Chains A and B, each alone.
Chain A
Amino acid sequence: MAEEKIGVYICHCGTNIAGKVDVEEVTRWAAEQPNVAVAREYKYMCSDPGQDLIKQDIQEHGITRAVVAACSPTMHEPTFRKAAGDGGLNPYLLQMANIREHCSWVTIDGDAATEKAKRILGAQIHRLPLNLPLEPIEVPVNPNVMVVGGGIAGIEAALKLAATGKKVYLVERDPSIGGHMAMFDKTFPTLDCAACILTPKMSAAGKEPNIEMLAYSEVTQVDGYVGNFKVKVTKKARYVDIDKCTGCALCTEACVVRKVPNEFDQGLSKRAAAYIPFPQAVPLKATLDPTRCLTLTGKKCKQPCVAACGPAAIDFDQKDEEIELEVGAIIMATGFQLWDPTPETRYSYGKLDNVISSLEFERISNASGPTGGHIVCKNGEPPKSVAILHCVGSRDENYQEFCSRVCCMYSLKFAHLIKEHLPETEVYECYIDMRTYGKGYEEFYKRLMDEGVHFIRGRAAEVSDVGLTPNEEGHLVVKVEDTLLGVTRRLPVDMVVLSSGLAPRADAKSTAQIFGFGCSANGFYLERHPKLEPVSTVTDGIFIAGCCQYPKDIPDTVAQAGAAAAGALALVDNATVKVEPTISYIDPEKCSGCHICVGLCPHAAIQYNEEKGVAEVIEAACKGCGVCVAACGSGVPQQRGYLDEQIFAEIEGALAL
């Protein structure tokens, strides 16, 4: 091995590292290590002057290898590798030693942290002479983008991308795009009508020539990598030829199965088995419900829908269709589901009439909802008093620990809508803390106080129908401690609205697995960095937007959708993208052709060459997991950047001290 000159650069990171690790001592120690030509410390190594230290040493002191002991490589490895490249060194001859996340931040004792920092750094110093120059692999980028989920986040991202001229596939599981926002009546705090601001966007997405809408479709498989994803999408059979269907809804009127709970109205109304989910649906096409349609379930039916359909669009023989699409980037905007309040039995949801969820209230107050926008109890009478209970399934260690961020505001909106429709009705808001953090939100809260809404600071303990006084007889009774007054109150009311939190979709985890990224502990999609990369995932080329990442309001969702669209555009607007060269190679001189690696490769990137009798790596398909390297009995496949001898050297260095 030729004599190498290693430069060691140790970052204080302000006091993040230096507050615990004795940086001077580590620097002194590093300078004495084999092959180390220079060891420096600096307050912020990632700053321009810090990076310049590395460049200068390469140019002036002939440094041939470098190690930066600082934060996680996930954070700044690209920064420092670029600096090394700018200085004239192959970027892969620079390693990082993570002495912040893995050392100073997690260790109590300063001396122990200093020792550990030396071990972590020592591993890299020991490995560096074995590092080899590598060149990133440049691969072409498919300019198309897929957006998964057609709520406001997906629609916004798709429209933004389409406006740049990119082809967008918008995949939506339901028969229509629109998502939760389409169900809302008004939006806080401005009280814009949700339909008035959403439907123009839905319609624009439907008409946009650059958007290919795949409604009533689901992604089943994702292969490939950044810039080159291959996505399998199943277009579920609607049993209606959408090229012929005009959306006239005559089939839905003719259908004899009329008692199907309408999902869009939270089951508060009924629809037919032939249905259009809501009047503003995009695409405005009918769907036959395969679980309820008599013909499709093998029962007898005179098929009045067929007779009613002028263009003869109904096709009972339609089958699910699987298509494969190629895209360069993917935006996940799969949204949330309302936390189901049933497990919170003390609130009697599902047991007592007129205890309703927030989405049910949205539909009841909506002019196109099951009651035509009249806020009424189950008996059709308007409630004389309503209690709105906050934090149901939110901020609760038994269910979801986090704050869902939108419930306080939508609860205030409900109170306003009740007061607007029914000025005489008493409204009680039972809250833990009022969280009105957004633009115009606190002002809205103040306004509601002036509208005569009663605010009771306390989480409701119970909802029952047991009246203890004549006053309470025949009413729902909410028991709540008013923590400001220090008294327990019993509120006899006609309606209870449960302000349920936002939950990750039930299949969020399995969906994330299909796309190859992870979920946070609370079940929402995991972003690459919580602050600096909130719309990226660990998988390059896959972005996230909206409530699938974490509960958020519509303005934040729209902003995030724009950010995700920009992230995707910054990728697919390039002809090529560089990918890590840490892939495997097989020396044909050494390979015995035993086939073990061929079957193990998860990406089918190893082929057996019959003629030569050896296994060969298909470089474009290899993603660099290294499974073949570990599996080969003779150690023939090797992984660039993670050669066995490099890993051995790291182990030696880590244990040398």
Chain B
Amino acid sequence: MSDQFEPRLIGFLCRWCSYNGADLAGTSRMKYPPNLVPIKTNCSGRVDPTHIFKAFAEGADGVLIAGCHPGDCHYINGNYRTAGRFPLMKKMLEQLGLEPGRVRLEWVSAAEGDKFARVVTEFTEEIRALGPLGWRTQTDVDPAQAGSAASDRVEEAVPA
């Protein structure tokens, strides 16, 4: 592999639509970058903002949440809760100095293997362009190494 930056991504996938959409991408042998590790939840509405923070704290460079299309939720309206929470959470992450592009919400149905592959491909490239976030490496650091643009902003955002 080349020495280009390989982002580490976490994807929360609802088990009814998006997890199956990811399965379909596999069954159809579509190819996409290996950077995203999926985590299954019953509903995208189960994804708690703390899960996102945890992922960034553990060293993720980007987090995807994928659920059923509006109207298709297996639990009637769980995905509307996700849609409602997402902008607030995104705003909060921005206040912490994160680029808004590091979190992404997508609706991927069980029939949209191609969309899942496309979303992961795009997301990987977008995060690659943003560069490492490195929250985990930040905390037990040696300040000399903490030089990236993102991490500078994190420090600015944390009250002294």
Q: A: which residues have CB within 8 A of B?
A: 72-74, 98, 100-103, 105-109, 111-113, 115-116, 119-120, 123, 513, 516, 518-521, 526, 538-539, 582, 600, 602-603, 623-627, 629-631, 635, 639, 642, 644, 647-648, 650-652, 654-656
Contact = CB atoms under 8 A, between A and B. Distances in A.
Given A107-B34, A119-B37, A654-B37, A642 B111 contact: no
Nearest to B136: A655
B23 to A, nearest CB: 4
Interface residues of B, number: 54
B16 interface: yes
B41 interface: yes
A111 B23 CA distance: 21
Interface of B: 1, 8, 10, 16-17, 19-20, 22-23, 25-27, 29-32, 34, 37-43, 45-51, 54-55, 58-60, 68, 71-78, 81, 85, 109-112, 114, 117, 136
B117 A538 contact: no
Contact of B59 (A73, A526, A623, A655): A655
B38 A513 contact: no
A629 B46 contact: yes
10 contacts: A106-B26, A526-B111, A602-B76, A603-B76, A625-B42, A627-B75, A630-B85, A648-B51, A650-B39, A651-B10
B81 A627 contact: yes
A647 to B, nearest CB: 6
A650 B47 CA distance: 13
A642 B41 contact: yes
Contacts of A106: 25-26, 29-32, 34, 117
Nearest to B8: A655
B47 A630 contact: yes
A102 B17 contact: no
A629 B48 contact: yes
A101 B77 CA distance: 28
A520 B58 contact: no
Given A100-B26, A521-B112, A648-B54, A108 B78 contact: no
B42 A626 contact: yes
A538 B46 contact: no
B113 to A, nearest CB: 9
Contacts of B114: 521
Contacts of B20: 74, 538
Contact of B41 (A98, A516, A626): A626
B45 A625 contact: yes
Nearest to B85: A630
B52 to A, nearest CB: 9
A378 to B, nearest CB: 42
Given A625-B78, A630-B45, A652 B58 contact: yes
Nearest to A105: B26
Given A74-B20, A513-B72, A123 B43 contact: no
